[in-house]
């Protein structure tokens, strides 16, 4: 099929920053795009060929949108899977497939999938209601501490909480959830796997993620991870095994824990471009966003090795500020060596909302990490 400067239409469900960065590449290749998003101020609005307003969880909105495109992909998991399933039956190519999404959308189903496929993950218990957790603790069937995770609609630290005492359960959503053993890990790692419909597969180097202690959001992504080659191979092998089990198409970001004994446990996966791959825009031969386009269109996959060491810093809304966004000291960070800011185009900031990211590239990874710290301390995302 001819995708370039042709009548071919690529549909993207979701118009956030991940979609916007996908569109950098569709514009580079002159691939016609349509985007569906519920917000009239979505970052994708300015960059897509056609932008449509619609609820991503609404069957009719997703189905009718999907009928207008040749290939349909996502930049967010929370979409109506029934509509995707029906579109697939009618010949629309949907990547990732509805079957994959249905499993990944629900954390309990996702965890059971790992168990069923002999993939390493932390032990867990599934609960239909939050109240059942209290009963289990009282009866001695569940021991504190553990990690509570909402089965659905969690993102960026929302829907995850470490429970150390009964009172920590207060104000949590009442529905389906899991209680996962609290793993005393050394490191959080991630590997992005790209896979095409033909089965061509490539992996990006293992990255290391440093988290914000309160927001449970990634603060820094460091590529390559500062681990042994042996451990990097182990993490890559686990990611490839997950990819093979899902038979996914596109990108699959596999987040993992490195335990105190250097075992690798799967935390969770995302079947789309991911926060742990933003540094690939500046640091890799092929960015994760270009690779996702190549993969879903069954084009040859690009090189995944890094040209240079990279560290990514998330720009999130400062605490205590809500309203029209202002980026303070952005010129100061642009004066630093190897620093590139990416501003997502969200006009309104609020505490911990992802507003952009900054990539720092340097031949010396230690120096890149040092500059990243300086970037973090310099730039402030506040409101007028």
Residue of 190, 248, 194 whose CA lies nearest to 220: 190
Does 297 belong to an annotated binding site? no
Does 28 belong to an annotated binding site? no
Does 267 belong to an annotated binding site? yes
Does 144 belong to an annotated binding site? no
Does 188 belong to an annotated binding site? yes
Does 107 belong to an annotated binding site? yes
Instruction: Please give the radius of gyration of the chain, using alpha carbons only, rounded to the nearest integer.
Output: 21
Whether residue 317 has a cis bond before it, omega within 30° of 0: no
What is the DSSP-derived secondary structure letter of residue 67? T
Whether residue 153 has a cis bond before it, omega within 30° of 0: no
Does 180 belong to an annotated binding site? yes
Rounded CA-CA distance 310/211 in Å is 17
What is the DSSP-derived secondary structure letter of residue 64? H
Q: Dihedral of CA 296/302/307/309: which sign? A: positive
Q: C-alpha distances in angstroms, 173 versus 41, 157, 169, 181?
A: 28, 14, 9, 19
Collapsing DSSP states into helix, strand and coil, what is residue 8? coil
Query: Which class for 85: exposed (0-12), middle (13-18), buried (19 or more C-beta within 10 A)?
Result: middle
Residue ranges for the binding site?
107, 149, 180-183, 188, 267-268
Residue ranges for the binding site for ATP?
107, 149, 180-183, 188, 267-268
């Amino acid at each position: 099929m001819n995708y370039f400067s042709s009548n071919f239409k690529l549909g993207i469900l979701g118009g956030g920053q991940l979609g916007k960065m996908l569109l950098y590449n569709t514009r580079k290749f002159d691939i016609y795009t349509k985007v569906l998003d519920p917000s009239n101020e979505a970052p994708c609005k300015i960059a897509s060929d056609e932008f449509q307003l619609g609820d991503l969880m609404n069957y009719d909105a997703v189905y009718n949108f999907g009928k207008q495109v040749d290939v349909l992909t996502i930049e967010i998991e929370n979409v109506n899977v029934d509509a995707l399933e029906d579109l697939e039956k009618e010949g629309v190519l949907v990547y990732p497939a509805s079957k994959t999404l249905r499993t990944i959308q629900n954390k309990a189903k996702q965890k059971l999938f790992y168990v069923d496929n002999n993939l390493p993950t932390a032990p867990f218990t599934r609960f239909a209601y939050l109240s059942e957790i209290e009963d289990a603790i009282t009866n001695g069937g569940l021991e504190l501490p553990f990690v509570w995770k909402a089965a659905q609609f969690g993102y960026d630290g929302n829907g995850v909480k470490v429970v150390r005492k009964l009172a920590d359960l207060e104000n949590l959503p009442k529905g389906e959830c899991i209680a996962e053993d609290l793993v005393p890990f050394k490191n959080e790692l991630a590997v992005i796997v790209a896979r095409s419909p033909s089965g061509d597969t490539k992996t990006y180097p293992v990255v290391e993620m440093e988290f914000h202690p309160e927001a449970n959001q990634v603060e820094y992504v460091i590529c390559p991870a500062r681990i042994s080659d042996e451990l990097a191979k182990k993490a890559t092998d686990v990611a490839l095994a997950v990819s093979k089990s899902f038979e996914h198409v596109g990108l699959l970001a596999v987040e993992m824990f490195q335990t105190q004994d250097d075992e690798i446990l799967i935390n969770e996966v995302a079947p789309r471009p991911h926060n742990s791959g933003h540094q690939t825009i500046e640091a890799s031969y092929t960015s994760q966003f270009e690779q996702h386009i190549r993969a879903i269109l069954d084009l040859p996959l690009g090189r995944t090795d890094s040209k240079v060491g990279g560290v990514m810093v998330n720009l999130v809304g400062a605490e205590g500020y809500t309203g029209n966004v202002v980026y303070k000291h952005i010129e100061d960070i642009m004066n630093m060596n190897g620093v590139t800011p990416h501003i997502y185009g969200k006009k309104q900031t609020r505490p911990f909302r992802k507003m952009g990211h900054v990539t720092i590239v340097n031949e010396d990874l230690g120096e890149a990490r040092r500059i990243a710290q300086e970037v973090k301390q310099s730039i402030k995302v506040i409101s007028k």
